[in-house]
Structures are given as C-alpha cells and as structure tokens.
Amino acid sequence: SRRFVALDLAKRKAEGRKIIALTAYHAHTAGILDPHCDFILVGDSLGMVMHGMESTLPVTLEMMIVQAQAVMRGTQRALIVVDMPFGSYEASREQAFLNAARVLKETGAGAIKMEGGARFAETVAFLTERGVPVMGHIGLTPQSVNTMGGFKVQGRSGESERRLMEDARAINDAGAFAIVMEGIVEPVARAIATNAAITTPTIGIGASAHCDGQILVLEDMLGLSDRAPKFVKRFGSLRAHIEAAVQDYVDDVRSGRFPAEEHTYRPL
Ligand code: KIV
Ligand code: NA
C-alpha cells in the first residue's frame, strides 16, 4: 500500500472522519505512530523538545532535514510533513521554494508546513503551483514569539478574530492542502473550521474540537515533557516510567544483580 499523500487529508474531511496527527523526530517513535496517523509532522518544536531551546527560532533547515530523514526511514504509510524553520521561507517566495524543494529532495517527505496568514498567501500559491504541497499554520504561531510578545492565545478581540478569519481564507484560497490552527479561542476556531468557504481541512492544537483533525506534540501527550500547555491532554506518563526504570537499573548495578548470567558472554 502506498504512502498517504497531501490530498488524502481532503478525503478524510469529505468522509467526515477525523484526521489523526502527531509529531515525531525519531525513526523509532515515528514507526510506532505510522500505522495510526494520517500524517506525522516533523515539527520545529524539536528545538525545544529535543534540544532544550527556549523557542523554535534557533532551529536550522539542516536540523529539520536530518530529523525528517530519520522519520522517513522509520515509516512507510503516513504522510510526512516537515516544518520550515524560522528564516528559511519568509524573505521571498523564491527563498521559500528553494528551501522547500531542498527539504522534499533530501528527505523524500510529502509536504512542508509554514507559519503565517494572509501575508504568506502568495508564497503558499507559488509553492503549490510548483509541486510543493503546503500546510498552513495560523493563530498562535511560535516563530512569532518576539512580535506577539509571548505565546498568547489568539482570537480574544474582535480585531484578532477578523484577522484570523482573513488568514484562514487567504491560506485556503492560496491552495494550502490543510491548515493547522493553534491556540485559538473556541468560538473563533469553530467559526473558521465550520465556515463553508474554508474547504481545506483544519487541524487543531488548542483550537477546539470543531477542527477536522487534531495534532499534539508526541512528547507532551506521552507525559515526557516536564511542562506542557493547557491544551495538552497527557495520555501517558513516560517520565515516571523512565524514572522508575532508571532507578531499577541503579539498584541492580549497585547490588550486582545486573548484569546477570543471561547478559554475560562465556567462552564457546
Ligand atoms: O512544531 C510543531 O510541533 C508544530 C505543531 C505543534 C503543530 O508546529
Ligand atoms: Na512548528
């Protein structure tokens, strides 16, 4: 069976079936998600999650390409979407195309994602017309942390609400194959997700249950991250599991229970 492609998300929406997505940066975790997810996002959240950065701004295109290659090797079914990091697409639509083409050529991924609303509509159209499927990302866009003045939930004022609807319309009309909506208050998220003019699937993260699909950062939902935003439900408690296993290891090494006979090489 072939890999999911960008256009398959529209089929899910047409069927009224929720689109299932998570992030992954590694071959092993991606392989676990592969049978369950319609798409897997190699998010620039890897800067914070894997590297302990305070924001996603320092993430480079090279970092994204290396982790996307790992995720491609670990999967065979899901569509793999790769985030364009800060500074790799904003200067011009040509810059965006050249870097997006590099990502697709060097990783084999099926699509890229870029943050931004109406101002990036031209770029979305330019890339889509040239063979690069683009997933949009509006609302709380973490790469804008310095101009937003923090990680702030969007849509709380009339002006913010109007801007979000404009952003969604513009990215939709420019040909984005899906739109991630992050950190948007429920009535506004619902108004966008259920608007007849927004035909492209909406993927929510902190943007209500009205979206056509949902995405979370894997390490957050697994309970591996030490902190996570309000919109994260912890479906696991990996931190506690790892801590308990490490404690057992420490105890066994100290007491001499590990390594045992079955872990020991003997002459033939
Ligand atoms: O980088 C990321 O993980 C993302 C998702 C949270 C949508 O952009
Ligand atoms: Na991201």
CA-wise closest residue to 57 among 118, 133, 129, 148: 148
CA of 14 to the centre of ligand 2 (A): 26
At 167-205, the pLDDT tens digits run 999 999 999 999 999 999 999 999 999 999 999 999 999
Residue 68's CATH number: 3.20.20.60
Q: Is residue 30 part of a domain?
A: yes
Cβ of 180 less than 6 Å from ligand 1: yes
Cβ of 135 less than 6 Å from ligand 1: no
Q: Is residue 260 part of a domain?
A: no
Mean pLDDT of the chain: 97
How far apart are the C-alpha atoms of 238 and 161, rounded to whole Å?
37
Q: Which domain holds residue 49?
A: 8-237
- How far, in whole angstroms, is CA 13 from its chain's centroid? 19
At 5-50, the pLDDT tens digits run 999 999 999 999 999 999 999 999 999 999 999 999 999 999 999 9
Neighbours of ion ligand 2 (CB under 5 A): 43-44, 83
pLDDT over 90 percentage in the chain? 98
Q: Is residue 175 part of a domain?
A: yes
Query: Which residue's CA is minimally distant from atom 3 of ligand 1?
Result: 43
Q: Is residue 267 part of a domain?
A: no
The pLDDT, as a whole number, for residue 1 is 67
Catalytic residue status for 182:
yes
CB distance 203 to 218 below 8 Å: no
Query: Which residue's CA is minimally distant from atom 8 of ligand 1?
Result: 43
| Phi-psi label, residue 139: left if phi above 0, alpha if psi -120 to 50, beta otherwise | left
User: Is ipTM strictly over 0.95?
Assistant: yes
Q: Which of 15, 54, 129, 182 is catalytic?
A: 182
Cβ of 24 less than 6 Å from ligand 1: no
Cβ of 217 less than 6 Å from ligand 1: yes
The pLDDT, as a whole number, for residue 32 is 98
Q: Is residue 223 part of a domain?
A: yes
How far apart are the C-alpha atoms of 10 and 221, rounded to whole Å?
25
Q: Is residue 246 part of a domain?
A: no
CA of 21 to the centre of ligand 2 (A): 13
Give the contacts of 15 (CB within 8 A, at least 6 positions apart). Answer: none
CA of 41 to the centre of ligand 2 (A): 8
The DSSP code sequence of 13-80 is HHHTPPEEEEE--SHHHHHHHTTT-SEEEE-TTHHHHTT--SSSTT--HHHHHHHHHHHHHT-SSSEE
Residue whose structure tokens are 């108004």: 191
At 126-155, the pLDDT tens digits run 999 999 999 999 999 999 999 999 999 999
CA of 94 to the centre of ligand 1 (A): 24
pTM of the model: 0.97
Q: Is residue 251 part of a domain?
A: no
Q: Is residue 134 part of a domain?
A: yes
Best of 83, 231, 232 to mutate for ligand 1, by most ligand atoms within 8 A of CB? Answer: 83
Domains: count for the chain? 1
> What are the tokens at 115?
């943050």
Mean pLDDT of 242-253: 98
